[in-house]
Structure 1
Amino acid sequence: MRQFVDTGTGELFYEEQILRRTDEIVKVFRPAGRSSKFVKIKASQKAKRRLRKLSLAEAGFLLKIAPYASEGTNLLEGDNERGQKGIPLSVKDLARIADCSYPTARKIVKTFIELHVLRRTDLEGRSALAINPLYALNGKTAEAWLLQLFKQEITEAGEDPNLD
């Protein structure tokens, strides 16, 4: 491995060789401390078919709200920039995050609930939305609670219930 130094900033760079198949995409993440999130979008053939069924607006909406999923539970919660940290985001908050109108966000959320991309649940007396881990997952593993919430969809999809 070769090392390079940016003379302007002093930042270190490393040269690495990556071998990949022609149908694979490599994405490089730059760690940004504790504030970085790694939301995994499922890449199985079944997941790709599910994602292809979404319109461009719906796919964009999902991509923009996914970083607000809490680790392991996929609950859409605030981060103190959008909504209060740890408090479920409202559809109005999601509209601001996705940079769309409230009626558009409401329509997409309704469609996502019908398609089982999102599910409403009760969190300490508040209504909360969770993302189906068949579409995206924040964290290494889904908590048992999240798997139970989407158990029927996971079973019907023929996916591994642990979603490793």
Structure 2
Amino acid sequence: MSEVERPARGVSDLGELLATMRPELDPDAWVFATAAEPLAGAEVTVVEAEGVTSVLRKHDLPTAGDAPARMRVSPPFARITLQVHSDLEAVGLTAAVATALAAEGIPANVVAGFFHDHIFVPWPRASDALASVRALQRDAARAGDARG
């Protein structure tokens, strides 16, 4: 049996994470859809007792004729990817971003991948959310400069 490659750990210091993250807005609209089985094209799948949630680009949704029975679909969301390799055990990044967005009245649904965190926000609030997360990054960078 071969060994599993273990990539270098990501950044775990909250100040460094916030100061060095580069939030990027994906131009595509995303949806959360639930059905009995995962949907083809899903980039995130969550299995829950009530059903399977698939997160996918809106244009990848099955057409009416191909859609599974009883599929439910959310309104569109925007995806903001935090371009910083965050450690899966880092403490506070999600809370800091969610708090900044909550201060603006913007809901946030966070998905962590191995390398990056992805924030899904309502499509109509995408620009506001991106501005809020960028402001958080700038403030953290200034605070780091003041300490250093």
Compute the TM-score of the two structures, normalised by the length of structure 1: 0.24
Report the structure, 1 or 2, having the larger strand content.
2
